[in-house]
């Protein structure tokens, strides 16, 4: 039996070697309280047996959707390798201490942008955002930028992982792993 998390590690390492742009980019799909789906690209910032981690403004559209329905799907598409990985499962918050550690590694301008942005809310003009950014530069001048209280991390805990490999004539390989208790069940799907 193949361990899907070890297989992901292998594929991800290969993507880092061959994918020219953002091998850690993944589509994140959520649904709002009325079951309207929404998808956007985010960056994988950590992964392991506990799940797949990304960070964002918790007051954003995705943050609100995850608060209302803490389940999500992820999709990695590595075109250079002609591979995809789909992951589905419940979502949990990352501990604040982990979010603090990651936030401290971000570029200063990204840290300031997290304070200046009301992510996903209407913006009257780009000048308004630029003014707010300048205000944050002034506010934190000469000091470290702490993590905003509305900014944190999420972990998608995998229950289903599908590995898709492109093959000629649409004879693609689709390997599906489904968590059954503490073990993974493996099977194939028709392309």
How many C-beta atoms lie closer than 10 Å to residue 165's C-beta?
14
Q: Which two tokens stand for residue 155?
A: 């972990």
pLDDT of residue 1: 76
Query: How confident is the model at residue 146, as a pLDDT?
Result: 97
Per-residue confidence of the chain (191 residues) as pLDDT tens digits? 799 999 999 999 999 999 989 999 999 999 999 999 999 999 999 999 999 999 999 999 999 999 999 999 999 999 999 999 999 999 999 999 999 999 999 999 999 999 999 998 999 999 999 999 999 999 999 999 999 999 999 999 999 999 999 998 988 999 999 999 999 999 999 99
Q: Cα dihedral angle (26, 31, 36, 38), rounded to 10 degrees?
A: -20
Q: Which pTM does this prediction carry?
A: 0.94
Active site residues: 170
In the chain the domains, ranked by start, together with CATH numbers, are: 4-99+150-189 (2.30.110.10)
| Closest CA relative to residue 78, chosen from 125, 11, 129 | 11
Which tokens go with 46? 């950590």
Residue 84 exposure: Cα atoms within 13 Å on the Cβ side: 16
Which helix (H) or strand (E) segment is 63 a member of?
helix 61-68
| pLDDT of amino acid 129 | 95
In the block, residue with structure tokens 């918050």: 93
Phi and psi at residue 77, to the nearest 5°: -125, 110
pLDDT of residue 81: 95
Instruction: For residue 118, give the nearest of 136, 100, 105, 101 by alpha carbon.
Output: 136
Give the pLDDT confidence score for residue 138 in this predicted structure: 97
Beta bridge partners of 86: 75, 162
């Amino acid at each position: 039996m193949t361990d899907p998390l070890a297989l992901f590690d292998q594929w991800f390492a290969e993507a880092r070697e061959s994918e020219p742009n953002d091998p850690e980019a993944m589509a994140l799909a959520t649904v709002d309280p009325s079951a309207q789906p929404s998808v956007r690209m985010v960056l994988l910032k950590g992964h392991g047996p506990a799940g797949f981690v990304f960070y964002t403004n918790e007051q954003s559209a995705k943050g609100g959707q995850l608060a209302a329905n803490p389940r999500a799907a992820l999709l990695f598409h590595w075109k250079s390798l002609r591979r995809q990985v789909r992951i589905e499962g419940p979502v949990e918050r990352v501990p604040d201490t982990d979010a603090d550690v990651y936030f401290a590694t971000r570029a200063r301008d990204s840290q300031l942008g997290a304070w200046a942005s009301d992510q996903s809310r209407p913006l009257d003009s780009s000048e308004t955002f630029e003014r707010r950014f300048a205000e944050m530069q002034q506010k934190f001048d000469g000091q470290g930028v702490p993590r905003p209280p509305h900014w944190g991390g999420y972990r998608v805990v995998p229950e289903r992982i599908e590995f898709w490999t492109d093959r000629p004539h649409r004879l693609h390989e689709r390997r599906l792993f489904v968590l059954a208790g503490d073990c993974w069940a493996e099977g194939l799907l028709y392309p």
